[in-house]
Amino acid sequence: MSLLLNGLAASNGIAIAPAYLLVGSDLSVQKQYTNDKNHEVDRLHGSFALSEQELQVIREQAHQQLGQHAATVVDTQLAMLGDPALFDEIKQLIQKDEFTAEWAVKKVEDHYLNIFEHQNDNDYLQARATAMKDVAKRLLSHLLSVALPDPKKLDHRAIIVAKNVTPTDTAQFNRHHVAGLVTDTGGRTSHFTIMSRTLSLPAVVGTGNATKQIHDGDLLIVDGIHGKVLVNPTEDQLEHYRLLAGRFAREQASWGALRDQQTVSADGRHFEVAANAGTLDDLEDARNNGAEGIGLLRTEFLYMNQSKLPEEDEQFAAYKRFVSVMSEQQVVARTLDLGGDKRFGLMSLPEENNPYLGFRAIRIGLAKPEILRPQLRAMLRASVYGRLAIMFPMVATIEEFRRARAILDDEKEKLLTEGVQVADNIEVGMMLEVPSVAMMADLFAQEVDFFSIGSNDLIQYLFAADRGNARVSYLYQELHPAVLRTVKRVIDAAHAEGKWVGMCGEMAGNPLATPLLMAMGLDEFSMNSNQILHIRALIKKLNTRKLQPLVHRALDAKTAPEVTRLVREFVPDLKDE
Ligand code: PEP
Ligand code: MG
**What confidence tens digit (pLDDT) does each residue in 459-470 have?**
999 999 887 676
Neighbours of 195 (CB within 10 A): 23
Give phi and psi for 330, each to the nearest 5: -75, 140
Q: What distance in angstroms lies between residue 269's CA and the mean position of ligand 1's atoms?
A: 27
Inter-residue long-range contacts of 559-567, CB under 8 Å, 24+ positions, other chains counted:
559/480, 559/481, 560/477, 560/478, 560/479, 560/480, 560/481, 563/479, 563/480, 563/481, 563/484, 563/516, 564/479, 564/512, 567/479, 567/512, 567/515, 567/516
Q: Report helix, strand or coil for 452.
A: strand
Inter-residue long-range contacts of 338-342, CB under 8 Å, 24+ positions, other chains counted:
338/300, 338/303, 338/364, 339/363, 339/364, 340/394, 340/457, 341/119, 341/121, 341/122, 341/125, 341/467, 341/468, 342/122, 342/124, 342/125, 342/300
Q: Is 504 labeled as catalytic in the residue annotation?
A: yes
Q: What distance in angstroms lies between residue 337's CA and the mean position of ligand 2's atoms?
A: 8
Model confidence band, residue 330 (pLDDT cutoffs 50, 70, 90)? very high
- Predicted confidence at residue 121, as pLDDT, reads 54
Q: What distance in angstroms lies between residue 455's CA and the mean position of ligand 1's atoms?
A: 7
Residue 406 above 90 pLDDT?
A: yes
Q: Is residue 456 lining ligand 1, measured as CB closer than 6 Å?
A: yes
Out of 434, 476, 504, 526, mutate this one to test ligand 1's pocket (max ligand atoms within 8 Å of CB): namely 504
Q: What letter does residue 533 receive in the DSSP assignment?
A: H
Rounded-to-integer distance, Cα 408 and Cα 372, Å: 9
From 63-72, 368-377, 424-433, the region with the lowest mean pLDDT = 63-72
Q: Do residues 382 and 319 make contact, with C-beta atoms less than 8 angstroms apart?
A: yes
Q: What distance in angstroms lies between residue 394's CA and the mean position of ligand 2's atoms?
A: 7
| Higher per-residue pLDDT: 207 or 269 | 269
The 10s digit of each residue's pLDDT in 245-289 is: 998 888 888 888 999 999 999 999 999 999 999 888 789 889 989
Q: Is 118 labeled as catalytic in the residue annotation?
A: no
Q: What distance in angstroms lies between residue 457's CA and the mean position of ligand 1's atoms?
A: 6
Give phi and psi for 451, each to the nearest 5: -115, 145
Q: What distance in angstroms lies between residue 456's CA and the mean position of ligand 1's atoms?
A: 5
Q: Is residue 478 lining ligand 1, measured as CB closer than 6 Å?
A: no
Residue closest by Cα to atom 1 of ligand 1 = 454
Ligand 1 nearest atom to the CA of residue 341, by list position: 10
Out of 279, 337, 457, 517, mutate this one to test ligand 1's pocket (max ligand atoms within 8 Å of CB): namely 457
Residue 65 above 90 pLDDT?
A: no
- Predicted confidence at residue 120, as pLDDT, reads 52
Ligand 1 nearest atom to the CA of residue 340, by list position: 10
Q: Is residue 68 lining ligand 1, measured as CB closer than 6 Å?
A: no
Q: What distance in angstroms lies between residue 453's CA and the mean position of ligand 2's atoms?
A: 9
Cα radius of gyration rounded to whole Å, the chain? 25
Q: Do residues 14 and 244 make contact, with C-beta atoms less than 8 angstroms apart?
A: yes
Give phi and psi for 20, each to the nearest 5: -130, 110
Of 69, 480, 504, 534, catalytic: 504
Q: What distance in angstroms lies between residue 463's CA and the mean position of ligand 2's atoms?
A: 15
How would you class 16 by CB atoms within 10 Å of its CB: exposed for 0-12, middle for 13-18, buried for 19 or more? buried
Average pLDDT over residues 18-41: 90
Q: Is residue 337 lining ligand 1, measured as CB closer than 6 Å?
A: yes
Residue closest by Cα to atom 6 of ligand 1 = 454
Rounded-to-integer distance, Cα 140 and Cα 27, Å: 7
Q: Do residues 3 and 231 make contact, with C-beta atoms less than 8 angstroms apart?
A: yes
Q: Sketch out the chain's domains with CATH numbers.
A: 3-24+149-254 (3.50.30.10), 37-143 (1.10.274.10), 260-542 (3.20.20.60)
Rounded-to-integer distance, Cα 264 and Cα 537, Å: 9
Neighbours of 576 (CB within 10 A): 12
Percent of the chain with pLDDT strictly greater than 70: 94
Model confidence band, residue 437 (pLDDT cutoffs 50, 70, 90)? very high
Ligand 1 nearest atom to the CA of residue 457, by list position: 2
Ligand 1 nearest atom to the CA of residue 506, by list position: 3
CA 102 to chain centre: 33
Out of 299, 431, 528, mutate this one to test ligand 1's pocket (max ligand atoms within 8 Å of CB): namely 431
Residue closest by Cα to atom 10 of ligand 1 = 457
Residue 346 above 60 pLDDT?
A: no
Residue 343 above 70 pLDDT?
A: no
Q: Is residue 457 lining ligand 1, measured as CB closer than 6 Å?
A: yes
Rounded-to-integer distance, Cα 444 and Cα 391, Å: 13
DSSP output for 461-523: HHTT--TT-GGGGGG--TT-HHHHHHHHHHHHHHHHTT-EEEE-SGGGG-TTTHHHHHHHT--
Model confidence band, residue 64 (pLDDT cutoffs 50, 70, 90)? confident
| Higher per-residue pLDDT: 194 or 411 | 411
The 10s digit of each residue's pLDDT in 427-436 is: 999 999 999 9
Percent of the chain with pLDDT strictly greater than 90: 64
Ligand 1 nearest atom to the CA of residue 453, by list position: 3
CA 502 to chain centre: 18
Of 191, 215, 480, 552, catalytic: 191
Q: Is residue 504 lining ligand 1, measured as CB closer than 6 Å?
A: yes
Q: Report helix, strand or coil for 361.
A: coil
How would you class 363 by CB atoms within 10 Å of its CB: exposed for 0-12, middle for 13-18, buried for 19 or more? middle
Q: What letter does residue 386 receive in the DSSP assignment?
A: S
Total-model pTM: 0.73
DSSP output for 129-192: HHHHHHHHHHHHHHHTT-PPP-GGG--S-EEEEES---HHHHHHS-TTTEEEEEESS--TTSHH
- Predicted confidence at residue 404, as pLDDT, reads 98
Residue closest by Cα to atom 8 of ligand 1 = 456
Ligand 1 nearest atom to the CA of residue 455, by list position: 3
